[in-house]
Amino acid sequence: MNSAVLDMLKWDEQGLVPAIAQDADSHEILMMAWMNRDALQLTMEKQQAVYWSRSRQKLWFKGEESGHVQEVQEIRIDCDADVVLLQVKQIGGIACHTGRKRCFFRVLSNGEWQEDEAILKDPTEIYQ
Amino acid sequence: MNSAVLDMLKWDEQGLVPAIAQDADSHEILMMAWMNRDALQLTMEKQQAVYWSRSRQKLWFKGEESGHVQEVQEIRIDCDADVVLLQVKQIGGIACHTGRKRCFFRVLSNGEWQEDEAILKDPTEIYQ
């Protein structure tokens, strides 16, 4: 891995950048998480999404427990080099820990947040 | 505006959340910026994207200088209620301050970041 590729990113004061995962087929935004330098390097090497879990303060190999791996087809950065955009194939068709296709399942409608995505699999079945 | 809608968000220690703008027609991710409570409220009221500029530390009415307003068609939040996703109509077809359609114009290819989006308008013409 050419370290210049990683040096290009403007890591924040915690050494992180936001990373957006977009479904390469449906073009839906599946989720947004965070990456540190190691996570991005591993994502590039494995061609599978690896994030940094801020709550657990450790590398998060997406799908390591659930099997819902994200195969990475393309990696982009924005004009400020402080946001990563992944095009992914979402294995299992479930990106969200709630068992939904995508994390953005609440839409503003009539002045309220309304859920409009079905739970495809019970989380207790996903994380056994 | 029902304040419960805004209370739902988990604002970070600076009172911000990331906000992703997706083109409602092409489904391309145009940009990611930040919103504070006022920015999200104004976005809802005006149905036009309003962000918080971290560099300028002020509200950023997207398009106020460039004319490249983002008309908001849908507002979503994610499972953790700490990321906003906008579906927008990008007026002028240019979201990026560099004069490109979208901010994600650098793609990882052969171990390098390569630019693959044309500059549609010279920034010096956009910001006069």
Show the beta-strand stretches assigned E in B62-115.
70-77, 84-90, 106-109, 112-115
**Residues in chain B within 8 Å Cβ distance of A106:** 76-78, 81
Boundaries of domain holding B45: 3-93
Phi and psi, residue A101, nearest 5°: -55, -45
Between CA A2 and CA A48 the distance in angstroms is 18
Q: Tokens 């195969």 map to which residue?
A: A71
Question: Is B49 part of any domain?
Answer: yes
**Residues in chain B within 8 Å Cβ distance of A74:** 107-108
Between CA A54 and CA A18 the distance in angstroms is 11
Calculate how close chain B gets to A78, using CA atoms only, in Å: 4
Question: Is B115 part of any domain?
Answer: no
Calculate how close chain A gets to B121, using CA atoms only, in Å: 15
Calculate how close chain B gets to A122, using CA atoms only, in Å: 15
> What integer best gives the mean pLDDT of chain A?
96
How would residue A126 be classed by pLDDT, with cut points 50, 70 and 90? Answer: confident
Phi and psi, residue A19, nearest 5°: -130, 120
Category of B110 on φ-ψ map: left (φ > 0), alpha (ψ -120 to 50) or beta:
left
pTM of the model: 0.97
Q: Take residue A4 and report the two structure tokens written for it.
A: 């210049």
Q: State whether B80 and A103 contact (CB < 8 Å).
A: yes
Question: Is B51 part of any domain?
Answer: yes
Question: Is B59 part of any domain?
Answer: yes
Q: What is the DSSP string of B4-56?
A: HHHHTS---TTS-EEEEEEETTT--EEEEEEE-HHHHHHHHHHTB-EEEETTT
Q: State whether A5 and B113 contact (CB < 8 Å).
A: yes
Domains contained in chain A, number? 1
Q: State whether A29 and B20 contact (CB < 8 Å).
A: yes
Question: Is B69 part of any domain?
Answer: yes
Question: Is A121 part of any domain?
Answer: no
| Residue-level pLDDT at B58 | 97
From first to last of its 128 residues, chain B has per-residue pLDDT tens of: 679 999 999 999 999 999 999 999 999 999 999 999 999 999 999 999 999 999 999 999 999 999 999 999 999 999 999 999 999 999 999 999 999 999 999 999 999 999 999 999 999 888 87
Between CA A12 and CA A109 the distance in angstroms is 34
B59 burial level (CB within 10 Å; 0-12, 13-18, 19+): middle
Q: How many residues does chain A have?
A: 128
The residue of chain A with its CA nearest to that of B86 is A107
**Residues in chain B within 8 Å Cβ distance of A29:** 20, 22, 29, 85
Question: Is A83 part of any domain?
Answer: yes
Domain CATH for A41: 3.10.20.810
Question: Is B108 part of any domain?
Answer: no
Looking at this predicted complex, what is its ipTM? Answer: 0.96
